[in-house]
Protein backbone atom coordinates (compact mmCIF):
# COMPACT_ATOMS: atom_id res chain seq x y z
CA UNK A 1 0.00 0.00 0.00
CA UNK A 2 1.07 3.56 -0.59
CA UNK A 3 0.94 6.49 1.80
CA UNK A 4 1.89 10.14 1.77
CA UNK A 5 3.02 12.10 4.81
CA UNK A 6 3.12 15.87 4.97
CA UNK A 7 5.15 16.56 8.04
CA UNK A 8 3.80 20.01 8.84
CA UNK A 9 0.10 20.74 9.12
CA UNK A 10 0.70 24.49 9.29
CA UNK A 11 3.60 26.66 8.17
CA UNK A 12 3.59 30.37 9.03
CA UNK A 13 6.10 32.53 7.19
CA UNK A 14 6.72 36.21 6.54
CA UNK A 15 6.33 37.72 3.12
CA UNK A 16 9.45 37.50 0.90
CA UNK A 17 10.95 34.73 3.05
CA UNK A 18 11.78 31.32 1.57
CA UNK A 19 9.58 28.36 2.34
CA UNK A 20 9.83 24.58 2.15
CA UNK A 21 6.82 22.29 2.51
CA UNK A 22 7.83 18.74 3.23
CA UNK A 23 6.40 15.58 1.70
CA UNK A 24 7.48 11.98 2.16
CA UNK A 25 5.88 8.93 0.61
CA UNK A 26 5.91 5.22 1.17
CA UNK A 27 5.49 2.83 -1.72
CA UNK A 28 6.74 -0.57 -2.82
CA UNK A 29 6.57 0.52 -6.46
CA UNK A 30 7.61 3.60 -8.38
CA UNK A 31 5.21 6.52 -8.28
CA UNK A 32 4.30 9.69 -10.09
CA UNK A 33 4.39 12.67 -7.72
CA UNK A 34 2.21 15.77 -7.62
CA UNK A 35 1.73 18.96 -5.67
CA UNK A 36 -1.66 20.67 -5.68
CA UNK A 37 -2.70 24.03 -4.21
CA UNK A 38 -6.12 24.88 -2.81
CA UNK A 39 -7.20 28.46 -2.13
CA UNK A 40 -10.03 28.93 0.40
CA UNK A 41 -13.34 27.45 -0.70
CA UNK A 42 -11.99 26.43 -4.08
CA UNK A 43 -11.00 23.23 -5.84
CA UNK A 44 -7.46 21.94 -6.24
CA UNK A 45 -5.08 23.28 -8.88
CA UNK A 46 -2.03 21.39 -10.10
CA UNK A 47 1.21 23.16 -9.14
CA UNK A 48 3.72 20.71 -10.57
CA UNK A 49 4.42 17.04 -11.10
CA UNK A 50 7.34 14.65 -11.34
CA UNK A 51 7.11 11.81 -13.82
CA UNK A 52 10.73 10.97 -14.69
CA UNK A 53 14.00 12.60 -15.70
CA UNK A 54 15.43 15.63 -13.92
CA UNK A 55 14.71 15.47 -10.23
CA UNK A 56 14.12 19.22 -9.96
CA UNK A 57 10.77 20.24 -11.40
CA UNK A 58 9.44 23.74 -11.77
CA UNK A 59 5.79 24.63 -11.53
CA UNK A 60 3.49 27.58 -11.61
CA UNK A 61 3.70 30.66 -9.38
CA UNK A 62 7.48 30.27 -8.88
CA UNK A 63 7.29 26.97 -6.99
CA UNK A 64 9.67 24.09 -7.52
CA UNK A 65 10.09 20.63 -6.02
CA UNK A 66 12.89 18.12 -5.84
CA UNK A 67 12.43 14.39 -6.02
CA UNK A 68 14.77 12.40 -3.81
CA UNK A 69 14.38 8.68 -4.43
CA UNK A 70 16.66 7.52 -1.64
CA UNK A 71 14.79 9.58 0.93
CA UNK A 72 11.39 9.03 -0.76
CA UNK A 73 10.74 12.73 -0.54
CA UNK A 74 9.28 15.40 -2.79
CA UNK A 75 9.62 18.70 -0.93
CA UNK A 76 8.09 21.88 -2.35
CA UNK A 77 10.04 25.14 -2.23
CA UNK A 78 9.70 28.79 -3.11
CA UNK A 79 12.57 31.25 -2.64
CA UNK A 80 10.35 34.24 -1.83
CA UNK A 81 6.68 33.96 -0.91
CA UNK A 82 3.88 36.45 -1.39
CA UNK A 83 0.70 37.08 0.57
CA UNK A 84 -1.18 35.53 -2.35
CA UNK A 85 0.56 32.18 -1.73
CA UNK A 86 -1.53 31.72 1.41
CA UNK A 87 -3.34 28.46 0.72
CA UNK A 88 -3.36 24.77 1.53
CA UNK A 89 -0.91 22.58 -0.33
CA UNK A 90 -1.37 18.88 -0.97
CA UNK A 91 1.24 16.33 -1.96
CA UNK A 92 -0.06 13.27 -3.83
CA UNK A 93 1.19 10.15 -5.62
CA UNK A 94 -0.07 7.75 -8.26
CA UNK A 95 1.57 4.30 -8.16
CA UNK A 96 2.84 3.12 -11.52
CA UNK A 97 1.37 -0.35 -11.07
CA UNK A 98 -2.11 1.11 -10.75
CA UNK A 99 -3.97 -1.84 -12.22
CA UNK A 100 -7.65 -1.64 -11.45
CA UNK A 101 -7.39 1.67 -9.66
CA UNK A 102 -5.69 3.36 -12.57
CA UNK A 103 -5.02 7.00 -12.00
CA UNK A 104 -6.17 7.13 -8.38
CA UNK A 105 -4.35 9.80 -6.42
CA UNK A 106 -3.21 9.12 -2.87
CA UNK A 107 -3.11 12.39 -0.94
CA UNK A 108 -1.28 13.65 2.08
CA UNK A 109 -3.33 15.52 4.68
CA UNK A 110 -2.21 18.92 3.49
CA UNK A 111 -0.07 21.81 4.76
CA UNK A 112 -1.61 25.21 5.37
CA UNK A 113 0.81 27.94 4.34
CA UNK A 114 0.11 31.27 5.97
CA UNK A 115 2.09 34.22 4.64
CA UNK A 116 2.17 37.24 6.93
CA UNK A 117 3.10 40.80 5.98
CA UNK B 1 -13.56 26.68 -21.94
CA UNK B 2 -12.95 23.10 -20.87
CA UNK B 3 -13.37 22.24 -17.26
CA UNK B 4 -15.39 20.72 -14.46
CA UNK B 5 -18.45 22.33 -12.97
CA UNK B 6 -20.05 21.49 -9.66
CA UNK B 7 -23.36 22.83 -8.50
CA UNK B 8 -24.48 24.28 -6.27
CA UNK B 9 -21.54 25.97 -4.51
CA UNK B 10 -23.34 25.83 -1.15
CA UNK B 11 -26.07 23.39 -0.17
CA UNK B 12 -28.10 23.19 3.00
CA UNK B 13 -30.26 20.23 4.00
CA UNK B 14 -32.13 18.92 6.98
CA UNK B 15 -31.00 15.72 8.60
CA UNK B 16 -32.71 12.66 7.16
CA UNK B 17 -32.96 14.01 3.61
CA UNK B 18 -31.09 12.63 0.64
CA UNK B 19 -29.26 15.21 -1.45
CA UNK B 20 -27.62 14.98 -4.88
CA UNK B 21 -24.50 16.91 -5.85
CA UNK B 22 -23.89 17.61 -9.51
CA UNK B 23 -20.60 17.18 -11.38
CA UNK B 24 -20.21 17.80 -15.11
CA UNK B 25 -17.04 17.84 -17.23
CA UNK B 26 -16.39 18.76 -20.85
CA UNK B 27 -12.78 17.59 -20.94
CA UNK B 28 -13.69 14.32 -22.66
CA UNK B 29 -12.20 12.44 -19.71
CA UNK B 30 -13.18 8.84 -19.14
CA UNK B 31 -12.44 8.72 -15.40
CA UNK B 32 -14.26 10.72 -12.75
CA UNK B 33 -13.89 10.84 -8.96
CA UNK B 34 -15.64 12.10 -5.85
CA UNK B 35 -13.71 13.20 -2.76
CA UNK B 36 -14.75 14.37 0.64
CA UNK B 37 -12.64 16.99 2.44
CA UNK B 38 -12.75 17.63 6.17
CA UNK B 39 -10.43 20.00 8.05
CA UNK B 40 -7.09 18.36 8.81
CA UNK B 41 -7.96 15.11 7.04
CA UNK B 42 -7.00 15.87 3.48
CA UNK B 43 -9.04 14.35 0.66
CA UNK B 44 -10.70 10.98 0.98
CA UNK B 45 -11.97 9.06 -2.03
CA UNK B 46 -15.69 8.24 -1.99
CA UNK B 47 -16.32 6.70 -5.43
CA UNK B 48 -14.65 6.62 -8.80
CA UNK B 49 -15.68 5.64 -12.29
CA UNK B 50 -13.35 4.71 -15.13
CA UNK B 51 -16.00 4.25 -17.82
CA UNK B 52 -19.69 4.89 -18.37
CA UNK B 53 -22.04 2.57 -16.48
CA UNK B 54 -19.29 1.37 -14.18
CA UNK B 55 -18.02 2.67 -10.83
CA UNK B 56 -16.11 1.44 -7.80
CA UNK B 57 -16.19 2.24 -4.10
CA UNK B 58 -13.39 4.29 -2.67
CA UNK B 59 -12.23 4.44 0.91
CA UNK B 60 -15.38 5.94 2.45
CA UNK B 61 -18.33 4.88 0.26
CA UNK B 62 -20.78 4.07 3.06
CA UNK B 63 -23.81 6.36 2.99
CA UNK B 64 -23.13 7.55 -0.56
CA UNK B 65 -24.28 6.46 -4.00
CA UNK B 66 -23.33 7.44 -7.56
CA UNK B 67 -24.36 6.86 -11.15
CA UNK B 68 -22.49 7.22 -14.43
CA UNK B 69 -25.02 7.19 -17.24
CA UNK B 70 -23.13 9.70 -19.37
CA UNK B 71 -19.43 10.29 -19.87
CA UNK B 72 -19.80 13.94 -18.91
CA UNK B 73 -21.74 13.50 -15.68
CA UNK B 74 -21.06 11.79 -12.34
CA UNK B 75 -23.64 12.84 -9.72
CA UNK B 76 -23.16 11.95 -6.06
CA UNK B 77 -26.09 11.29 -3.72
CA UNK B 78 -25.52 11.75 -0.02
CA UNK B 79 -28.08 9.53 1.64
CA UNK B 80 -29.65 9.76 5.07
CA UNK B 81 -27.46 6.79 6.04
CA UNK B 82 -24.35 8.98 5.97
CA UNK B 83 -23.80 9.73 9.64
CA UNK B 84 -21.79 12.92 9.29
CA UNK B 85 -22.51 14.42 5.86
CA UNK B 86 -21.44 18.02 6.49
CA UNK B 87 -18.24 18.49 4.47
CA UNK B 88 -16.70 19.99 1.35
CA UNK B 89 -17.16 17.70 -1.67
CA UNK B 90 -14.82 17.77 -4.64
CA UNK B 91 -15.29 16.16 -8.04
CA UNK B 92 -12.35 15.40 -10.34
CA UNK B 93 -11.66 13.82 -13.69
CA UNK B 94 -8.71 12.39 -15.56
CA UNK B 95 -7.77 10.82 -18.87
CA UNK B 96 -8.06 7.07 -18.71
CA UNK B 97 -4.77 5.48 -19.63
CA UNK B 98 -2.80 8.64 -18.86
CA UNK B 99 -2.47 8.64 -15.08
CA UNK B 100 0.67 10.76 -15.28
CA UNK B 101 -1.51 13.75 -16.14
CA UNK B 102 -3.01 13.67 -12.69
CA UNK B 103 -6.57 14.83 -12.04
CA UNK B 104 -8.47 18.01 -12.76
CA UNK B 105 -10.72 19.30 -9.99
CA UNK B 106 -14.01 21.15 -9.88
CA UNK B 107 -14.64 24.13 -7.55
CA UNK B 108 -16.39 22.01 -4.92
CA UNK B 109 -19.74 21.97 -3.12
CA UNK B 110 -19.98 22.77 0.56
CA UNK B 111 -22.78 20.72 2.10
CA UNK B 112 -24.21 21.61 5.49
CA UNK B 113 -26.71 19.28 7.13
CA UNK B 114 -28.51 20.40 10.27
Q: Which residue of B has its CA nearest to A100?
A: B50
Average pLDDT over residues A11-29: 95
Query: Three-state SS across chain B?
Result: CCCEEEECCEEEECCCCCEEEEEEECCCCCEEEEEEECCCCCEEEEEEEEECCEEEECCCCCCEEECCCECCECCEEECCCCCCCCEEEEEEEECCCCHHHCCEECCCEEEEEC
pLDDT digits 0-9 by tens, B65-83: 999 999 999 999 999 988 8
Q: Which of B4, B100, B104 minimises the CB distance to A32? A: B100
Instruction: Specify the pLDDT at position A86.
Output: 97
pLDDT digits 0-9 by tens, A33-92: 999 999 988 999 999 999 888 899 999 999 999 999 999 999 999 999 999 999 999 999
Provide the shortest C-alpha distance from residue A111 to chain B (in Å): 9
Provide the shortest C-alpha distance from residue A15 to chain B (in Å): 24
Instruction: Specify the pLDDT at position B42.
Output: 87
Instruction: Specify the pLDDT at position B111.
Output: 96
Are A6 and A108 within 8 A, CB to CB? Answer: yes
Instruction: Specify the pLDDT at position B104.
Output: 92
Provide the shortest C-alpha distance from residue A91 to chain B (in Å): 10
Neighboring chain A residues of B40 at a CB cutoff of 8 Å: 9, 109-110
Instruction: Specify the pLDDT at position A101.
Output: 57
Neighboring chain B residues of A45 at a CB cutoff of 8 Å: 105
In this prediction, the residues of chain B whose per-residue pLDDT falls under 70 are 1-2, 97, 99
Neighboring chain A residues of B96 at a CB cutoff of 8 Å: 102-103
Neighboring chain B residues of A92 at a CB cutoff of 8 Å: 102
CB pair distance less than 8 Å for A41 and B108: yes
Amino acid sequence: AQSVTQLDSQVPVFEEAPVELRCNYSSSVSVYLFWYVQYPNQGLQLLLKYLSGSTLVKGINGFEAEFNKSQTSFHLRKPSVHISDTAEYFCAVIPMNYGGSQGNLIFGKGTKLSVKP
Amino acid sequence: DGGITQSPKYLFRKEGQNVTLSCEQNLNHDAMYWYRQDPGQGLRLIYYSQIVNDFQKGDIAEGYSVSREKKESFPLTVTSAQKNPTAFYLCASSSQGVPAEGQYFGPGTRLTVT
